[in-house]
Structure 1
Amino acid sequence: MQPRITPCEGPYTPETAGAFARVMPPGMEPLKLFKTMAHSPRVLQRLFAGNLLDPGTLSLRDREMLILRTCARCGCDYEWSVHAALFSQAAQLSAAEVAATQAANADDVLLRAADELHDTSTLSDGVWAELAQRYEPAQLLEILALCGYYHSIAFIANACRVAPEAWAA
C-alpha cells in the first residue's frame, strides 16, 4: 500500500528540525512517521510533548512491553516493528517476550492491562488490583497514559499508511 501522506523531506523549519533533534538519536534520520506528522507542525509538537519518551517511573522493560502490546493490539505493524528493533534489546526483552506481545492470550499483567484498555477503555477490578500490588500510583497513571498515547500513534501510522522503516523488525 502506498502512504496516504508522503513524508516531508528536508530542509525542515527550525521548529521541526529541533523537534526531530530532541527525539532522534544523533545521526539517525527522522522516522517516516515523524516526517509524515511534520506536515502539521502543531500536531508534531503536541504529540512529541506528550510522548513520554523521557525516563519515567516505569522500567524500560515494562514500558516496552506495554508499547509493543498496545501497538500489536491496534494492528500497528509500523510502530511495533520500530520499537521491537530500537528498544527491545535495551529493555532486555527476550525474543519470547517480544513474540508474546503479539500472541492471542497474555499471562503478564501488563499485557492484560493493555488488552483490557484496548477492548474496554478501562481496567477490571482484578487487573487493577494486580497492578496496584506491583506499582505506585504514579506508575499506574503512566501505564494508562502510555497505552492511550500509543493508540494515538497507531491511529496516525495506520490511517496514513506509513511505510515500514527499512531497518525495522
Structure 2
Amino acid sequence: MMCYKKNSARIAPAPQPLPADMQDAIDAVMRGAPPLLLFATMARDRRLFFKFFNSGLLDRGHLTIRQREIVIDRVTAPCGAEYEWGVHVAAFADRARLTEDQIASLVAGYSADPCWDDEDRVLIDLVDTLHATCTVDDELWGRLTDRFSDEAILELLMLAGTYRTVSYLVNGLALPLEPGARRFGG
C-alpha cells in the first residue's frame, strides 16, 4: 500500500516556470490567481495538460452558471472529491446563487429537499442516476427534454462525465485542499 503525507500530493507539480502556452492557459482560467495544484500537476505532461484543458466546460455554453455548478457540486460530492467540490463552491456558489442549505444538500441531501425547485431537482436526479447506474431511464429523459434542449442535455452528460474524471484525478493524486476552498462540513 502506498503511503503519502496528509498535506502533500502523491505526484509533485511541474517545476516552474511553465512553458508560456501552458502558463497562458492557466492564467486564462485563474485570472491572476495562483494556479490550482491540479493544474500545476497536470502541467507535468504537455499532452495530458492540453487534453485536460481542452475538455473544460466552464465557458459560456448551453447551461447557466447555476445549472453547471449544481451538476459539478453534485458529481464531486458523492465521489468524495472535497478538493474539487471545495474549489467550485468557494469560486462559484455566490454567482450561482446557491444558498447554504443548497450547498449542504448537494453534499448530503436529496433532490426532494425543500430548498430545490423542479428544474434544480431534475439536475440532481440526473447526476444521482448517472452516479448509480451510468445511464438515464426514460422517465428522467422525459423530464430533461421538457426543460432542456438536446444540446444542453449533451452538455449536461459531458459535464457530469468530465467531473467524474476530475474526481478520480484529485482523489487519486490525494491533492491537499486549496487555501480558501470550502470543506464538506462547513
Normalised by the length of structure 2, the TM-score is 0.86
Runs of 4+ in 1 over 6 A off after TM superposition: none
User: CA 1:112–1:94 in 2, change beyond 3 Å: closer, same or farther?
Assistant: same
Segments of structure 2 that go 5 or more residues without pairing to the other structure are 1-5, 113-120
State the alpha-carbon separation in 2 of the partners of residues 131 and 158 from structure 1: 30
Q: Deviations over 1:14-50 (max 9, x none)?
A: 121122122111x200001111111112111111111
The CA deviation at 1:84 is 0.5
Which of 30, 50, 53 is equivalent to 1:48? 53
The CA deviation at 1:9 is 4.3
Fraction of identical pairs, as percent: 36
Which of 69, 88, 91 is equivalent to 1:64? 69
Bigger Rg, structure 1 or 2:
2
Instruction: Determine if contact 1:36/1:162 at 8 Å carries over to the other structure.
Output: no
Segments of structure 1 that go 5 or more residues without pairing to the other structure are none
8-17 or 149-158, which deviates more: 8-17
State the alpha-carbon separation in 1 of the partners of residues 57 and 176 from structure 2: 24
Counterpart position of 2:178: 165
**1:10 lines up with 2:12 in the alignment:** no
State the alpha-carbon separation in 2 of the partners of residues 125 and 141 from structure 1: 16
Q: Deviations over 1:56-94 (max 9, x none)?
A: 111110100000000012110000000000001011111
Counterpart position of 2:3: none
Which of 82, 101, 108 is equivalent to 1:103? 108
Counterpart position of 1:75: 80
The CA deviation at 1:144 is 0.2
Counterpart position of 1:124: 137
Amino acid in structure 1 at the alignment position of 2:156: I
Which of 117, 136, 159 is equivalent to 1:146? 159
State the alpha-carbon separation in 1 of the partners of residues 22 and 137 from structure 2: 40
State the alpha-carbon separation in 2 of the partners of residues 80 and 74 from structure 1: 10
State the alpha-carbon separation in 2 of the partners of residues 5 and 31 from structure 1: 14
Normalised by the length of structure 1, the TM-score is 0.95
State the alpha-carbon separation in 2 of the partners of residues 69 and 33 from structure 1: 19
State the alpha-carbon separation in 1 of the partners of residues 179 and 60 from structure 2: 27
State the alpha-carbon separation in 2 of the partners of residues 125 and 150 from structure 1: 24
RMSD, matched Cα: 1.1
The CA deviation at 1:104 is 4.3
SS in 1 for 2:110: coil
